[in-house]
């Protein structure tokens, strides 16, 4: 014969719970549903908003990098350091454009500066004015087409342009430089910096 199961002792002092009425049950279920919606809906909404912002940011970057031609403004410090294009102070009419592919990365930069700024720029890249060759258009037709630069068009006089190609071993970039002295006070500098990733 098996031993009898022990009985649960009646709780002392607690009256038995009345059965849950319908109104209370609906209120409890509504509160539970609200908590579930908040626990799932808020993070899901955040993910949707974040994904849309990320997509918009990606489209903005795509538009920026798929644009052709120069963008007004200074290249970033990282770009100037990576491509070794030290834009001197003071400079104005500064514009740049960067292209990247698996073969070659290029930074196109233009700026107008003072004669002291030109000397500073040339010194920082390791050359002087005597190294520039008169009439040498060191920037290729292809690169001129990409940027819209015209060195032999209307308004330019022979003898205004001086150029140099500064060839360097990888990982240092090669610099194609044209200096236009059509403005006797403020020379204009055009640079194409090429590097192989």
Q: Which helix (H) or strand (E) holds 118?
A: helix 115-125
Question: Alpha-carbon distance 104 to 72, whole Å?
Answer: 23
Q: Identify the burial level of 62 via C-beta atoms within 10 angstroms of its C-beta, where 0-12 means exposed, 13-18 middle and 19 or more buried.
A: exposed
Question: Each residue's pLDDT tens digit in the chain (197 positions)?
Answer: 566 666 665 556 677 777 778 888 888 889 998 898 888 888 888 888 887 777 766 566 555 545 557 889 999 999 889 899 999 988 999 999 998 888 889 999 999 999 999 999 999 999 988 998 888 888 888 888 888 888 765 555 556 889 889 888 878 899 999 999 888 889 999 999 998 87
Radius of gyration of the chain (CA): 35
**What are the contacts of 140-146 at 24+ separation with CB within 8 A?**
140/176, 140/192, 143/106, 143/108, 143/176, 143/192, 146/68, 146/69, 146/97, 146/99, 146/108
pTM listed for this prediction: 0.63
pLDDT value of position 196: 82
Residue 61 phi, psi dihedral angles, 5° rounding: -65, -40
Angle at 98 between CA 83 and CA 139, to 5 degrees: 75
pLDDT value of position 191: 94
Question: Alpha-carbon distance 97 to 108, whole Å?
Answer: 5
Sheet holding 133-134, edge to edge: 71-72, 91-100, 105-113, 188-195, 174-180, 161-166, 133-134
Cβ–Cβ < 8 Å for 69, 97: yes
pLDDT value of position 59: 60
Cα–chain center distance at 63: 11
pLDDT value of position 44: 84
Neighbouring-strand partners of residue 191: 109, 177
* Cα separation values, 23 from 26, 29, 36, 76, 185, Å: 5, 10, 20, 65, 88
């Amino acid at each position: 014969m098996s031993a009898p199961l022990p009985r649960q002792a009646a709780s002392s002092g607690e009256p038995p719970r009345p059965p849950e009425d319908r109104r209370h049950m609906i209120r409890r279920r509504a509160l539970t549903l609200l908590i579930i919606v908040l626990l799932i809906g808020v993070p899901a909404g955040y993910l949707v908003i974040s994904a849309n912002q990320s997509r918009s940011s990606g489209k903005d970057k795509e538009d920026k990098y798929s644009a052709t031609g120069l963008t007004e403004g200074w290249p970033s410090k990282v770009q100037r350091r990576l491509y070794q294009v030290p834009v001197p102070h003071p400079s104005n009419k500064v514009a740049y454009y960067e292209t990247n592919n698996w073969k070659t990365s290029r930074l196109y930069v233009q700026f107008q500066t003072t004669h002291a700024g030109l000397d500073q720029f040339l010194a920082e890249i390791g050359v002087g004015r005597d190294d520039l060759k008169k009439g040498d258009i060191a920037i290729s037709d292809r690169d001129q087409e990409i940027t819209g630069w015209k060195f032999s068009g209307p308004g330019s006089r022979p003898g205004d342009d001086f150029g140099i190609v500064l060839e360097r071993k990888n990982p240092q970039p090669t610099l194609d430089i044209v200096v236009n002295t059509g403005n006797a006070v403020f020379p204009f500098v055009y640079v194409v910096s090429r590097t192989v990733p």
